[in-house]
């Protein structure tokens, strides 16, 4: 579920304030501002689970009480983090009273490390306290990202192995789906996988939550990590170049001509498909660029060598490493796109192939020899004859306008921003949902899609 400026809330009843466990899976969006994952407050004090503005994970207890800030930072917007916080203030050994685990491994190095006093009460499970998911105590500092499988166990301090395990093949920490069997009085499990009821508590308690705002359903989850725009691969970020909706919507205001942002999944080796929609006066380019020319946060390097081609809202253009001669063709029957138009991109970068097709509202363009048919490999917009067979490639998006414009991307979640697709096209891979048909043999850009 993509949180955005939304949160879920429940009023706690009297539970065990000394002993509890919180488990959650989180995928960051914005990585440079404070992002609150959960909070509890009763009007007098509060506790917070958050990524602070310095990109550390922080748990902050009520004023003057426990507080922990990790030494390491968490700035990967393309990864799902599993966070477990276990508290038991009845433990005589101070270090046993509070434990933080990330992806199954206990954090032991902290910049701030203040343990709760023996037998002290926290505000977690305090009667009358407001528990909020995706917000701080105000509410505010919303999580611009995604959450899944958020659980509270009231009355037990548990190990992360209750909620996850190491994959025997890959060695990667993976989710163990299912609600904890004995959640305790205030315990809950919000899997956030029911797209029609995102705040459904699937634990045996079946608590009722109230949702404020409009969280967006998403297929992006710890078991299948979907591609998004990448905020740490952005040329010269500014307040006028904004990612939102779990990094699936890009808004550019005036005077931000030709800023660029990359993706969290590399196209090399894939036969992929994605869509993007002109929401408001969009004028963008989608580029396949030789990744020997890198984009780094706040350190953009101009294209110096290699090949690049891109689609604007009507024409196809090709530039070979900045050399003379730019090919411009009327790829679509009527150049230019109106607000509401949906563009699709299918690309085959498997083996030595470098073929790319574009459609507008379901109709593929004509490269001068015929209308493109990705499923058969016919008439690509560009192919290996123009795209260099380098060892690495990137897909990037660039603004190409001095006016305010917004484009929403669908990498398989079935949404453009907060608007669901009107009707799903066919998709043989079964991974994700798109407005138009996914060509046979192509798939969404996701971890499961890598294995199709």
Residue 180 and residue 237 share a domain: no
Residue 60 lies in a domain: yes
Q: What is the pLDDT of residue 288?
A: 59
Q: What is the pLDDT of residue 2?
A: 60
Q: Is the pLDDT of residue 226 over 60?
A: yes
Residues with Cβ within 8 Å of 44's Cβ and at least 6 positions away in sequence, in order, are none
Same-domain status, 57 and 205: yes
**Of 260 and 113, the one with more pLDDT:** 113
The DSSP result for 250-282, as a single string, is: EEE-TT-TT-EEEESS--TT-EEEEEEEEEES-
My answer on whether 103 and 176 are in the same domain is yes
The CATH number linked to 354 is: 2.60.120.920
Residue 336, pLDDT above cutoff 60: no
- Within 13 A of 78's CA, how many CA atoms are on the CB side? 15
Cross-strand bridge partners of residue 69: 58, 112
What's the pLDDT at 428? 86
What's the mean pLDDT in 352-364? 87
Quote the pLDDT of residue 343. Answer: 85
Whether residue 82 is contained in a domain is answered as yes
Nearest to 262 by CA among 283, 288, 298: 288
Residue 74: domain span: 7-212
pLDDT band at 216 (very low <50, low <70, confident <90, very high): confident
- Could you report the per-residue pLDDT of 277-312, keeping only the tens digit for each? 878 765 555 655 544 444 433 333 333 333 444 444
d(Cα 175, Cα 125) in Å, to the nearest integer?
A: 25
Mean per-residue pLDDT for 156-181?
94
Q: Percentage of the chain surpassing pLDDT 90?
A: 46
- The 10s digit of each residue's pLDDT in 40-69 is 988 777 888 999 888 899 998 876 578 999
CB 10 within 8 A of CB 210: yes
pLDDT tens-digit readout, 145-168: 899 999 999 999 999 999 999 998
Residue-wise pLDDT tens digits, 1-43: 566 678 999 999 999 999 999 999 999 988 878 889 999 988 7
For residue 273, being part of any structural domain is answered with yes
More confident residue, 180 or 256: 180
Cα–Cα distance between 211 and 297 in angstroms, integer? 34
**Domain finish residue from 187, 212, 237:** 212
2 domain residue, yes or no:
no
SS3 content of the chain, % helix, strand, coil (to 5): 0, 40, 60
Same-domain status, 205 and 239:
no
Residues 264 and 320 in one domain: yes
Q: Are residues 289 and 319 in the same domain?
A: yes
Q: To which residue do tokens 């919507």 refer?
A: 249
What CATH number is associated with residue 25?
Answer: 2.60.120.200
Q: 204 pLDDT exceeds 80?
A: yes
What pLDDT does 317 receive? 46
| Local confidence band at 323 (pLDDT 50, 70, 90 cut-offs) | very low
- Give every CB contact of residue 105 below 8 A, 6+ residues apart in sequence: none
Q: Going by C-beta distance under 8 Å and a sequence separation of 6 or more, which residues neighbour residue 289?
A: 303, 306, 308, 393, 394, 395, 396
- Same domain? For 303 and 361 the reply is yes
pLDDT for position 254: 63
* Model pLDDT, residue 42: 84
CA distance 413 to 225: 11
In this prediction, residue 432 carries a pLDDT of: 93
Given a cut of 70, whether residue 89 has pLDDT beyond it is: yes
26 belongs to a structural domain = yes
| Range in 68-72, 247-251, 328-332 the model is least confident about | 328-332
* Shared domain check, 273 and 199: no
How many domains, the chain?
Answer: 2
Last residue of a domain, one of 212, 240, 259: 212
Element (H, E) at 85: strand 80-88
Task: Give φ, ψ of 451 to 5 degrees.
Answer: -105, 5
Number of helices (H), then strands (E), in the chain: 0, 34
Residues 112 and 236 grouped into a single domain: no
Residue 244 has pLDDT above 80, yes or no: yes
Q: How confident is the model at residue 130 (pLDDT cuts 50, 70, 90)?
A: very high
State whether 172 and 243 are in the same domain: no
Q: Which domain-ending residue is among 177, 212, 247?
A: 212
Higher per-residue confidence, 189 vs 327: 189
Give yes or no: residues 109 and 161 share one domain.
yes
- Within-domain flag for 269: yes
Q: Does 226 or 398 have the greater pLDDT score?
A: 226
User: For residue 218, is it within any domain?
Assistant: no
Whether residues 267 and 304 share a domain: the answer is yes
| 220 lies in some domain | no
Q: What is the pLDDT of residue 322?
A: 37
- Is 206's pLDDT higher than 60? yes
**Residue in 285, 256, 290, 264 with CA at minimum distance from that of residue 343:** 285
CA 279 – CA 276 distance, rounded (Å): 9
């Amino acid at each position: 579920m993509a949180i955005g400026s939304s949160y879920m809330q429940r009023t706690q009843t009297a539970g065990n304030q000394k002993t509890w466990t919180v488990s959650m899976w989180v995928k960051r969006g914005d990585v440079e501002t404070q992002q609150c994952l959960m909070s509890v407050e009763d009007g007098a004090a509060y506790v917070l689970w958050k990524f602070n503005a310095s990109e550390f994970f922080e748990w902050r207890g009520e004023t003057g009480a426990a507080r922990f800030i990790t030494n390491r930072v968490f700035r990967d917007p393309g990864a799902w983090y599993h966070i477990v916080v276990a508290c038991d203030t009845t433990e005589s050994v101070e270090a046993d009273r509070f434990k933080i685990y990330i992806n199954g491994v206990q954090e032991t190095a902290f910049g701030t490390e203040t343990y709760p006093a023996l037998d002290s009460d926290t505000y977690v499970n305090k009667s009358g306290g407001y528990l909020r998911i995706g917000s701080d105590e105000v509410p505010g500092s919303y999580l611009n990202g995604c959450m899944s499988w958020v659980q509270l166990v009231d009355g037990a301090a548990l190990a992360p192995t209750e909620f996850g395990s190491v994959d025997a093949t890959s060695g990667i920490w993976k989710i163990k789906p299912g609600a904890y069997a004995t959640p305790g009085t205030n315990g809950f499990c919000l899997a956030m996988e029911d797209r029609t009821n995102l705040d459904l508590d699937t634990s045996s308690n079946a608590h009722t939550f109230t949702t404020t705002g409009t969280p967006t359903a998403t297929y992006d989850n710890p078991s299948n990590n979907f591609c998004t725009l990448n905020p740490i691969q952005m040329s010269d970020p500014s307040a006028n170049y904004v990612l939102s909706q779990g990094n699936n919507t890009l808004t550019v205001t005036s005077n931000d001509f030709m800023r660029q942002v990359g993706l969290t999944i590399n196209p090399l080796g894939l036969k992929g498909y994605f869509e993007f929609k002109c929401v408001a006066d969009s004028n963008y380019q989608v580029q396949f660029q030789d990744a020997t020319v890198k984009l780094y946060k706040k350190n953009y390097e101009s294209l110096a060598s290699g090949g690049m081609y891109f689609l604007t809202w009507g024409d196809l253009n090709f530039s070979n490493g900045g050399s003379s001669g730019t090919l411009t063709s009327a790829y679509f029957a009527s150049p230019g796109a109106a607000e509401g138009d949906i563009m699709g991109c299918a690309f085959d970068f498997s083996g030595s192939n470098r073929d790319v097709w574009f459609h507008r509202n379901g109709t593929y363009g004509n490269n001068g020899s015929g209308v493109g048919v990705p499923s058969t490999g016919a008439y690509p917009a560009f192919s290996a004859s123009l795209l260099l067979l380098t060892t690495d490639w990137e897909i990037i998006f660039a603004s190409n306008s001095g006016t305010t414009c917004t484009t929403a991307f669908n990498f398989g979640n079935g949404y453009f921003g907060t608007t669901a697709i009107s009707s799903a096209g066919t998709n043989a891979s079964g991974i994700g949902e798109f407005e138009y048909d996914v060509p046979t043999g192509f798939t969404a850009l996701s971890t499961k899609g890598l294995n199709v």
